[in-house]
Amino acid sequence: MLNAEGQFGWPAYAGLLVPLCMALLTLLFSHAWGIAVLCVGMLVGTGLQLLAVVLRLTRARLRYHFVLDLDASLRQLWQVAWPVLMGALILQGGSLVDQIFASTLVAGSISACAYALKLVSLMIGVLFVSVGRAAFPHLARQANLVDPEFRAFKETLRLALWSVTLCTLTCSLALLLLGRPLVRLLFQHGAFTSTQAQTTALILSGFAPGLIPMAAGFLLTRAFNALGETRIPMLMALVSVMANALLDALFARLWQGPGIALATSAVSLLVTLLLLWLLRRRIGHLGLWQVPAKYALWRLTRALLAG
């Protein structure tokens, strides 16, 4: 709701309460509560996050009333929303498929994949989600303009794709060049050995080439949602999971853990190309190779920094 009103900073900052509560309670009560302290910290932090967002909603004069009104608009919303829900559920199966195939490899492959995915998830949370949230309200409004050629829609999509691609390219190169020292710095402590760090870095290097198509696919999914074409991302999510399972079975035999990461990267590229082809059929030539205007790039950068 706040994002729809153009407010992005407060919901993002409120998310800091979750890791802060987990860290604080771990420092204070880890000896007494053990591993359960992480669960308690997440619950407390999530509750405080919800409270902070509700307070911000109140200041923005957006108040929720406990009324169930099953009118025509709600039914129309559900018709558009259920494919989004199903697509999200299907996509969760992608990491599960990776874990299943990693369990058939040498000992330590599951944990190495999990640690590498944590770093990849950090990129997704910082870059993909932030740019997607900032661009989606504009795409949704521009999709409803009376413009058969979707000029404003294409300009916003092109700007978002260029921005996230340039940032993701930098991060991908950093992971390829600095992946091993980064893994050692973050994870090689206690029982986490240098051999496990090396395996995790190799798997991370397999995920790195797929970050750019993954970012583009994330934004293209938002573009289809803005157009009301929510079933296409759902079908692409199903294709993604099936292709991921097939390539995992093949690449894991050839290259073990890094093969699973390369399979994920290959699937991301395949799905992104399919989304581009379908979107071009839907709204015409996209002109993605055209460099966005400097003032537009500066405007988006200011909006992201200002929250």
Residue 307 has pLDDT above 90, yes or no: no
C-alpha atoms less than 13 angstroms from C-alpha of 84 in its C-beta half-sphere:
16
Mean pLDDT of 246-251: 91
Q: Which of 12-21, 116-125, 264-273, 288-297 has the highest mean pLDDT?
A: 264-273
pLDDT at 82: 74
- What are φ and ψ of residue 286, in 5° steps? -95, -30
- Give residue 43's pLDDT band: very low, low, confident or very high (50, 70, 90): very high
Got the DSSP string for 292-307?
A: PPHHHHHHHHHHHHH-
Per-residue pLDDT reduced to its tens digit, 222-233: 888 888 888 888
pLDDT at 267: 92
Per-residue pLDDT reduced to its tens digit, 113-162: 888 888 887 777 677 777 777 778 788 888 888 788 888 888 888 888 88
The one-letter amino acid code at 231 reads R
Mean pLDDT of 188-212: 85
Q: How far apart are CA 213 and CA 123, in angstroms?
A: 13
pLDDT at 263: 92
- Give residue 58's pLDDT band: very low, low, confident or very high (50, 70, 90): confident
Residue pair 142/283 in contact by the 8 Å Cβ criterion: no
pLDDT at 37: 92
Residue pair 307/9 in contact by the 8 Å Cβ criterion: yes
Q: How far apart are CA 131 and CA 218, in angstroms?
A: 10
- The DSSP secondary-structure symbol of 60 reads T
Q: How far apart are CA 186 and CA 116, in angstroms?
A: 11
Q: How far apart are CA 55 and CA 238, in angstroms?
A: 38
Domain coordinates in residue numbering, the chain: 1-67, 75-306
Percent of the chain residues past pLDDT 70, beyond the cut: 89
Residue 295 has pLDDT above 50, yes or no: no
Q: Tell me the whole-structure pTM to 2 decimals.
A: 0.76
Tell which residue, 117, 126, 128, has the closest CA to residue 12: 126
Distance of CA 187 to the CA centre of its chain: 22
Q: Which of 57-71, 106-120, 261-275 has the highest mean pLDDT?
A: 261-275
Beta strands in 98-207 (DSSP E): none
The one-letter amino acid code at 303 reads A
Mean per-residue pLDDT over the chain, rounded: 82
Residue 274 has pLDDT above 90, yes or no: yes
Per-residue pLDDT reduced to its tens digit, 9-21: 677 778 888 999 9
The one-letter amino acid code at 165 reads T
Percent of the chain residues past pLDDT 90, beyond the cut: 15
Mean pLDDT of 230-248: 89
Number of residues in the chain: 307
Based on its alpha-carbon atoms, the radius of gyration of the chain, rounded to whole angstroms, reads 21
Residue 296 has pLDDT above 80, yes or no: no
Got the DSSP string for 11-45?
A: HHHHTTHHHHHHHHHHHHHHHHHTTHHHHHHHHHH
